Structures are given as C-alpha cells and as structure tokens.
Chain A
Amino acid sequence: MNIHEYQAKSVLRNYEIQVPQGIIINNKNEIKEKLSLIDYERYVIKSQVHSGGRGMAGGIQFASDKRDTQQVAENMLGSILHTVQSGSSGIKINKIYIEEKCEIDKEYYVSIVFHRPTSSIVIIGSAEGGQEIEGIAKTHPDKIKKIYINHNIGLQDFHIRRIGFELNIHKDYMMQFKSVIKSMYRCFVEKELIQLEINPLIQNKFGFVALDAKMNCDSNALFRHSDMLAFDEYDEENSIEKEALKFGLNYIKLHGNVGCMVNGAGLAMATMDIVQKYEASPANFLDVGGGATIEAITKACDIIMNDKEVKVIFINIFGGIMKCDIIAHGLLKSIYKNNAQKLPIVARLVGTNFNVAQQIIQDAGFKNIILLDDLEVAAAEIANQLKENN
C-alpha cells in the first residue's frame, strides 16, 4: 500500500528525520484558512498523488508570497495531472501539501527496498539526488551504490560508513548522515515497509532534510500497523475495489468489453489473457477466492454488470474448494437484481458440484446464459457473442 508524501513525512518526523514544515490542504475551502496559520519565506505547492514525475507535469510549483500561493493552490486542487505514469486519463489532484522551501547545498538519493531475488533488504544511494533514479540507472549505473543487508543481522555501522564514503558525504556531516540512515532503517523494519525512498535527501547548513518521501507498506502486515492502515483512503478511482475487498473479492478495474469473474488469481490472469487471444479486451481482473458466499458472488456479478463498458460476461470457475452451485445461485440473484436478462453471459463451470450448478441455471431458463465446459471453446464463444451483439 502506497501512502502520500505528506503522510510519509509525518512518519519520518517520528523517526527524527528532518522534513520541511508543511500543511495539508484537502479542499478549496481550506486554502485561505490554512494559509493564515503559516508564514514561510518561500512556498512550495505540491500535489499529493500516487504517481512519480509530478514535477515535470506541473504538479510541483513555487511561489514567493501567500497571494501567489493561494492562486496556485486554487488552480491545482481539483485539476487533472498528466504524468508519464498516470496514463491517458491522468490523475485528479484531491490534496495539496504546502511546504516551506529549503536551502539546498547538496542533493542525494537514498532508499531502502525489499530485494525480491535475494529476499534481503538493500540500501540504495546516489550522489545524484533530485533526479529520476531510473534515468541515472540507465546512463550512469556506476553512480548508484547498493548495500545488501541480511535482515537477521541488521544494519551495522560498517554498512552506514560504506554508504557515507560511497556518496562522498563531507566529514562534518557524516555523523548526522549516519543518524538519518539508522532512522530510515529503523522505520523500514518497524513499519514493515517494502520501500522507503527519499529523493532528494538534501544537505544544507542545518543538516539533512527529506525533501520528498515515498513509502510503500506491506499490505499483509497492515493488520499490526493500525497507524499506517489509517493512511489508507477512499477515492473515486478505487472505491469499487475497496468495496469489493469487503466481500473478500479481489477486483481491479481495467478498460474493456468482457467482464471476467474467476476463482484464483493465476486463473483470473490467464482468463484475461485468453480473452485477449480472441481479440476481445478484459474489462477487469476479478478473483472471487475459494470461500466466497452466495452474497459475495452476487456482489461480484453486480460489479461487472454495472460496468458500462462490459458487453459480455465471462465466468470461469474451476471449483475445488469453491462450489459451482454457489456461483450459479449468486449469478442468478444478480441477473434478477440488475435486470440483466439480455446481457450475454458465457459460463464455464467445472469441478465441485458443476452438474448441480448446470441444473440450477437450466431450470432458471435465462436465454442469455451459455454453459460450456471447455475453456478454449468458451473463450471463442465470447468473441462470437461480441460480434453478434455489435
């Protein structure tokens, strides 16, 4: 789970890492009032969105007085930001963070990341801070220093010395730098992060300041970090996904004409792939899991039926723990609820209780449900249905 810059900075403050003074603004009504509470020499207005490349897209701006700051803030809040990562639709800016602009003598890049291939923790540093790290990795890989840490041994002084010398930290600032790295590591371990990135970590006469902060928390660990969980937000983009999660459904909205419902993440991905093989486009990823109730299946069907882009529904269930008759009951309930007797539904149900499911569906008598047991044939039928309905 990614958290916003302002949230990450609040966490870093608790670990005695210096961050610039700042205030968060959640809507246009708050701007004037919150600005009256602060008095900076110069202002930085930063969009709070889950995307890199904000600066280049105009999501980070500067102002020298409150009046200009207010203007920038009013224009930024509620607007759409188009970054290189945001896709064609862009991201809506729902929050902005107004910070005091800092003096910068040097800029460094420091991050701590879970390294999957070795199951270890790696500290990554570079004296080329303030830039896109991927770009530096391509053009000057020698400028990126990596130190692998064995989790059981933990961060040792020699690790920190190494990174300090590799980054050419000035000896007058070495002690403070060590303290920052120790704090970052402690934060990474205590909050069970997958990634903690400070880019840039700037150095000025006051020491080191985290000018930007990115934190990615392990979703599996959130049950024991209620403070991090509290940072999670509902917004327009993910409200359906979060609603689905309440029913134990794993749903990711994409853009396409075939709504998919499957049991098992691997099979769900494979189902999306086979839909594309037949030149249709999956509208979503949806894994109902193994223990879904009729209510959850109904909810799952509701979600995909209410997606306006969906023209055909593909239900692919290999019932092991999941019983096919539960799927049948849930599907029928949803069809009644949504008046979806005309929406073509290709249902491939095999495994536990598949014959019970088939009987239930046949008895209901809906002409729009096509029952097949071969996966390839079912996928081909999807393409057929799309053609017929065009």
Chain B
Amino acid sequence: MSILIDENTKVICQGFTGKSATFHCEQAIHYGTKIIGGVTPGKGGSTHLGLPVFNTVQDAVNQLQPEATIIYVPPRFAADSILEAIDASISLIVCITEGIPVHDMIRVKNALNHSASMLIGPNCPGIITPGKCKLGIMPSHIHLPGSIGIVSRSGTLTYEAVAQTTQIKLGQSTCIGIGGDSVIGLNFIDCVKMFLQDPQTKGIIIIGEIGGIAEEELADFIDDYHIKKPMVAFIAGKTAPPGKRMGHAGAIISGHHSTAQYKIDRLSKSGIFISDSPAQLGSDMLKHLQNNL
C-alpha cells in the first residue's frame, strides 16, 4: 500500500459546502480521491459537487460508511468537528485548521486516546499518497508515486522535500503533515513506525522544528525498533531566538531540550542523517539509499 490512504479510501468532508472545502475537494476529486459526500449542519438533503450533503457526521456514516473524513472548519468550531467524527467512529480524521485553542485540543486528545480513531493535524497540509489519494491542500503536481515516506511538522517546507525527491525520480510513498501545533494527533513515532512496516517505503524523510520533544521521542523509538531503514532529517529553527513563537503554535523554544541543535544531536546519535540544508533533502536521501544497497 503506502500508508493510511490509497485509491480505495472512502472519504467525507466536514464543512463541505464552505469556500475552502469546495475548492480543495474539487481538486482532490480531480486527483482521484474517493470523496463520497460531506457534512454541513443545516444543508442535509442537498447535493454539492454532485455528492450528498448530510446534517451530521453520524448520518453520513450511516449512509456511506466512509473510512476517513477531512475537516475544513474554522478554529472556533474545529475541535467540535473532530469530536463529532470520533464519536461516529471514523477511523482516520484529517484536520487542516490552524488556530484551534489548546484546551479544546487537550479534550480532543483525551477522546482520541479512548477511541479507535486516528487524527492527522491540526494545523497541517494533510496527507497524500501520490497518484491515489489526496486529503489536504498540498499542490498535487509536484508529487510522484514512489518509495520515500515523508513526515513533517511543516507545510511548504515539506513541498521542498517532495519536489526534490520527485526531481531525482525517487517519488513518495505517502507524505504526512502532522502539523505545527503543540497538541496533535499522529506524531513522528506513529508515522515512522508505519513507514518502517510498509514494504513500498524504502527511505524516510523527517522534517522537524524547534519546540516540544517529538524528535527526541522518535530517536528513542528508533533505537529500540527492530526494523531499520535509511532516514534523513532536517530540523528547522537553528536561528530561532528562545521564547518566541515562530509562526507555528508549537514552534517555541522553552528550555534547551526544545532547540534545533538539541534535536539534531539526539537524532544523529540514533543514526539519522541530518541534512544541513532544506535544499539537499533529496540528494541526501538518494545517497543514503545507495549506501544501503
């Protein structure tokens, strides 16, 4: 497969009839994503983009049995949308929204822990398995079906890695934006574990940044995991000053653990190659794949 989504994944969209959702769903459908309906409270019974609209997620699930949902809902209401999707037992929830309050996300995280749902995001570009399924806002034309798994806390910085791996014809198995917030769903460990278990993925690119300890936790996980694959990482924010929120809510240095250099040193120790430039991720990945043969 690749991971999490493929050409058969059935998807609904929450916030379906909104401007952002309409634009991105049209693009996704054009790409081949199996969007089968959507939810906008109050518009149940109508159609949008030729697909059925429902008042609630449960209604959509009862009728369509989707495997995934993509949420394009403003920050004020986004956590509620995620909770509604969890309550309706949707397996994969992708939330693009930036600006969801932390206390809302703490509640969401608790609900996730007691459910069978997985969340990607929030504050992320989404997830794409090139050539098969696109759940998010990434520019599809830069992607190429292939063998590199990419997991990233950033949006446009991910596109750099994608463009480079496309250019050298390695392509991508699946690209996941886990998002720039402090409270998120799937983390580096979750995604890397899936990539390590996926036969199509031959190498993994990790894009991290200052703030939190996700990169350090990944290093601990890799040390003990029985499957190894070539991994290349870039950690943004070497020049970031402490205490300042650098765009992403989760990109803030508080204590020496959360600096870029600390993360770089820790990941290096676990055998992950650190690119010293965001422009070299593709070439570094190729080099390490060749070394591995």
Contact = CB atoms under 8 A, between A and B. Distances in A.
Contacts of A121: 106
A263 interface: yes
B183 to A, nearest CB: 5
Contacts of A375: 160, 277-279
Contacts of B236: 266-267, 269-270, 273
Contacts of A345: none
Nearest to A348: B279
A351 B245 CA distance: 27
A267 B212 CA distance: 18
Contacts of B107: 151-152
Interface string B106-144: 110110000000000000010000000000011100100
A5 B293 CA distance: 60
Interface in B196-243: 207, 209-210, 212-213, 217, 234, 236-241, 243
A221 B154 CA distance: 22
Chain A contact-residue range equals: 35 or more
Contacts of B234: 270
Contacts of B246: 252, 265, 268-269, 285
Interface string B95-112: 000011111111101100
A27 interface: no
B4 to A, nearest CB: 21
B153 to A, nearest CB: 6
Contacts of A381: none
A243 interface: no
B247 A277 contact: no
Contacts of A290: 137, 155
Nearest to A291: B20
A276 B240 CA distance: 11
A13 to B, nearest CB: 22
Given A152-B110, A265-B180, A320-B137, A285 B240 contact: yes
B76 interface: yes
A74 interface: no
A105 to B, nearest CB: 32
A269 B210 contact: yes
A123 interface: no
A266 B235 CA distance: 9
Contacts of A262: 156
B276 A219 contact: no
A48 interface: no
A274 B276 CA distance: 8
A166 interface: no
B267 to A, nearest CB: 16
Contact of B101 (A152, A192, A266, A352): A192
B40 interface: no
B237 A254 contact: no
A277 B103 contact: no
Interface string A257-288: 00000111111111011111100001001010
B157 interface: yes
A104 interface: no
A250 interface: yes
Contacts of B277: 274, 277, 375-376, 379
Given A114-B102, A264-B157, A318-B160, A273 B239 contact: yes
A269 B154 CA distance: 10
B237 A269 contact: yes
Given A192-B101, A274-B278, A318-B159, A266 B109 contact: no
Contacts of B209: 265-266, 269
B152 interface: yes
B76 A272 contact: no
A189 B280 CA distance: 44
B159 A320 contact: yes
Contacts of A150: 110
Contacts of B109: 119
Contact of B278 (A189, A267, A321): A267
B163 interface: yes
B288 interface: no
A143 B278 CA distance: 43
Contacts of A268: 246-247
B155 to A, nearest CB: 5
Interface of A: 85, 114, 116-117, 119-121, 150-152, 189, 192, 194, 218-221, 223-224, 250, 252, 254, 262-270, 272-277, 282, 285, 287, 290, 318-321, 350-352, 374-376, 379
Given A114-B106, A264-B156, 9 more contacts: A119-B109, A192-B101, A219-B249, A252-B241, A267-B278, A269-B210, A270-B278, A285-B244, A320-B137
